[in-house]
């Protein structure tokens, strides 16, 4: 009996010792030997893709490991999220995607899973606001003039959004309600086609992301009236915020984040968050973001980001529900 107990104790001790010796090797394999794969929820060349490649280059040096960018566009980002869900949850696969993945997409596309439960934001990489722009033919120098013009032409003025059910759609609905005006919404599949029709005079107004509208603003092809940021954008210092102009309900921030599945080990989450924030805070990165029409992300905690996503989801849902909007 005693002999059996001693053999079992020795076997247990040896197993524990071997496990401890193997642990560093296992950690090294998941943290440095394997490539870090960055899945992107948009096509190559999109803003999130550009930010992902900036991040990947920095992480490769910061973590001293191979980093591969893998675009998985389609289905409103669901393909990229599904890829992340199917990959081992060890921190070797991450997702770069906009906050719209959780706050907007579930209202627009019928999904087979709950975005907010399947992915978790661990770092905010970059942010930008939306800007209300108009065709130069609109006789308006400011937002008050736009509202007066729309009131004088009820039902004859149209505004574009980069997607039905998106924040750019919702902001128009909020302005319609707050200002008591009548405008027609025209939804597009992306900013580019909406801007083309705006510049061509087929629609008079548009709510668009600052990064995509900025080149058109600088070229004088569209006129900016207000931005959705809490403060004026350094890129458009002469353009007031909606809040300044008496429309605080139109305050909104779009941001691109680094996401993981929630069950990735806490140590891996913390390491990736720390490295990503460090990379994106470098002066060269900040300058590149400004050239893209974006600001560096804020160092909010994952819990703070998750809370803001929940609030945005509810806000957008309430507005869309008021017009009986249904997902595709």
**Domain end (from 250, 280, 303):** 250
Q: Are residues 220 and 312 in the same domain?
A: no
Give 101's Cβ-side CA count (13 Å radius): 33
CATH code of residue 144: 3.40.190.10
Tell which residue, 291, 276, 292, 296, has the closest CA to residue 55: 276
- Angle ∠(285,288,290) on CA atoms, nearest 5: 110
Once rounded to an integer, what is the mean pLDDT over residues 45-53?
A: 91
Do 112 and 153 have their domain in common? Answer: no
Is 142 in the same domain as 111? no
Q: Is there a single domain that holds both residue 171 and residue 245?
A: yes
User: Among 73-77, 150-154, 246-250, which is the least confidently predicted range?
Assistant: 73-77
How buried is residue 26: exposed, middle or buried, by Cβ count under 10 Å (0-12/13-18/19+)?
exposed
Residues 223 and 303 in one domain: no
Number of structural domains found in the chain: 2
pLDDT surpasses 50 at 241: yes
Q: Does the residue 144 lie in any domain?
A: yes
C-beta contacts of 285-289 below 8 A and 24+ residues apart: 285/54, 285/58, 288/54, 289/51, 289/54, 289/126
Is residue 8 domain-resident? no
Percent of the chain past pLDDT 70, that is, above it, reads 90
Model pLDDT, residue 111: 87
Residue 11 is predicted with a pLDDT of: 38
Same-domain pairing of 282 and 293: yes
Q: What does the alpha-carbon distance between residue 50 and residue 73 come to, in Å, rounded to a whole number?
A: 14
What number is the average pLDDT over the span 262-277? Answer: 97
**Max mean pLDDT range (28-42, 63-77, 131-145):** 131-145
- Average pLDDT over every residue of 133-139: 97
Instruction: Answer whether residue 14 is part of any domain.
Output: no
Q: Which one has a higher pLDDT value, 264 or 23?
A: 264
Tell me: do 94 and 158 sit in the same domain.
no
Q: Taking all residues of the chain, what is their mean pLDDT, rounded to a whole number?
A: 89
Do 147 and 108 lie in a common domain? Answer: no
Token match 């509810």: residue?
314
What confidence category does residue 298 fall into, taking pLDDT thresholds of 50, 70 and 90?
very high
Average pLDDT rounded to a whole number, residues 54-72: 96
Residue after which a domain boundary falls, among 219, 250, 281 = 250
pLDDT of residue 25: 36
CA angle 122, 113, 90 (to 5 degrees): 40
Query: Has residue 79 got a pLDDT over 70?
Result: yes
Q: Which domain range does residue 114 map to?
A: 35-127+254-322
What average pLDDT does this structure show over 165-183? Answer: 95
Q: Is residue 232 part of a domain?
A: yes
Residue 2 pLDDT: 32
Residue 4 confidence (pLDDT) above 60 = no
| Co-location of 153 and 241 in the same domain | yes
Kindly state the average pLDDT of the residues 10-18. 36
Domain identity same for 204 and 239 = yes
The tokens for 129 are 């606001």
Same domain, 245 and 142: yes
Domain stop point among 250, 278, 293: 250
208 within a domain of the structure (yes/no): yes
In a domain, 19, yes or no: no
Q: How many residues does the chain have?
A: 328
What pLDDT, on a 0 to 100 scale, did the predictor assign at position 7? Answer: 32
Question: Is the pLDDT assigned to residue 84 strictly greater than 60?
Answer: yes
25-46 tens-digit pLDDT: 333 334 557 899 999 998 888 8
Whether 154 and 189 map to the same domain: the answer is yes
Whether residue 157 contacts residue 150, with contact meaning beta carbons closer than 8 Å, is answered with yes
Average pLDDT of the residues in 261-281? 97
Task: Show Cβ contacts of residue 246 under 8 Å, excluding neighbours closer than 6 positions.
Answer: none
Rg, the chain, Cα only: 24
Judge whether 7 lies within some domain: no
Domain CATH for 82: 3.40.190.150
pLDDT at 46: 83
Let me know if residue 269 belongs to a domain. Answer: yes
């Amino acid at each position: 009996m005693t002999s059996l107990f001693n053999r079992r104790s020795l076997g247990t001790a040896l197993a524990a010792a071997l496990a401890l010796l193997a642990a560093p090797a296992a950690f090294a394999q998941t943290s440095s030997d394997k490539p870090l794969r960055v899945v992107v929820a948009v096509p190559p060349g999109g803003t999130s893709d550009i930010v992902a490649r900036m991040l990947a280059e920095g992480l490769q040096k910061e973590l001293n490991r191979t980093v591969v960018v893998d675009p998985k566009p389609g289905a409103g980002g669901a393909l990229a999220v599904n890829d992340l869900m199917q990959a081992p949850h060890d921190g070797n696969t991450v997702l770069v995607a906009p906050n719209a993945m959780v706050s907007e997409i579930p209202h627009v596309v019928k999904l087979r899973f709950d975005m907010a439960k399947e992915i978790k934001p661990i770092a905010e990489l970059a942010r930008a606001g939306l800007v209300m722009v108009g065709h130069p033919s609109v006789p308006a120098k400011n937002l008050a003039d736009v509202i007066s013009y729309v009131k004088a032409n009820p039902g004859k003025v149209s505004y574009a959004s980069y997607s039905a059910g998106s924040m750019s759609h919702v902001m128009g609905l909020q302005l319609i309600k707050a200002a008591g005006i009548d405008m027609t919404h025209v939804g597009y599949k992306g900013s580019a086609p909406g801007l083309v029709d705006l510049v061509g005079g087929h629609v008079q107004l548009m709510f668009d992301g600052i990064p995509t509208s900025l080149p058109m603003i600088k070229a004088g092809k569209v006129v900016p009236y207000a931005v959705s940021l809490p403060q004026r954008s350094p890129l458009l210092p002469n353009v007031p915020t909606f809040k300044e102009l008496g429309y605080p309900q139109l305050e909104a921030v779009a941001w691109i984040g680094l996401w993981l599945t929630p069950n990735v080990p806490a140590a891996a989450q913390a390491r990736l968050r720390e490295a990503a924030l460090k990379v994106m805070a470098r002066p060269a990165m900040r300058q590149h973001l400004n050239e893209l029409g974006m600001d560096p992300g804020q160092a909010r905690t994952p819990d703070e980001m998750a809370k803001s996503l929940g609030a945005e989801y509810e806000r957008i849902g309430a507005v869309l529900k008021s017009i009986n909007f249904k997902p595709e």
